[in-house]
Amino acid sequence: MTNMDKLRCAWTGNIPIMNDYHDNEWGRPLFDDLKLFEFLILESMQAGLSWLTILRKREGCKEAFDNFDPKRIALYDDNKIEELMSNDKIIRNRLKILAAINNAKVYLEITYKESFSQLLWSYVNHKPIIGYRQKIEDIPATTPISDKLSKDLKKLGFKFVGSTTIYAFMQATGMVNDHIKGCYLYQD
């Protein structure tokens, strides 16, 4: 079976970059604090856009945002913001850029005291929730857990972390396994 012949979740559209992301990242449990921060930034950037757009801009974002290093992002000043606003390799939305800077500062405050991974994964008792979805239409946009995590992240000071964004983040980082039945990565 070739890579293109595999049965996947329908949202990939059988687009190579989406297939690669689906096959190698989406839904795989992620516990690394810095990688979780990267996904939080990417999911925040995605708000109102397609994930395909984000994947196409991901390398540009990685470069422009100093490899998603929160210590560096937290120090961005007006000159850096203007530089980012003129960079066509990234999502040039001032509010999202400001949110990334803000979120880096909040992330650093949290990780000074505790692991970001431990904080996030505590919402799912430190193990992935299996979605048991039959088809893509069965996948919700939010859940009570994403509602609570979103609300709590906002209380901590994070921006662009609405419940829909957080549910997508939970799926991407494997906190929720929403591979549909029939997908070659679905597991009972």
- The neighbour count for residue 24, using CB atoms within 10 Å, is 8
21, 76, 107, 186: which one is catalytic? 21
Could you tell me if 11 and 168 are in contact, meaning their C-beta atoms sit under 8 angstroms apart? Answer: no
26, 43, 167, 186: which one is catalytic? 43
* Active-site residue, 76 included: no
* Active-site residue, 107 included: no
* Active-site residue, 109 included: no
Could you tell me if 11 and 136 are in contact, meaning their C-beta atoms sit under 8 angstroms apart? Answer: yes
51, 76, 167, 186: which one is catalytic? 51
Q: How do 176-177 and 129-130 pair as beta strands?
A: parallel
Per residue, what are the HEC states of 63-118? HHCHHHCHHHHCCCCHHHHHHHHCCCCCCCCHHHHHHHHHHHHHHHHHHHHCCHHH
Catalogue the active-site residues.
Answer: 21, 43, 51
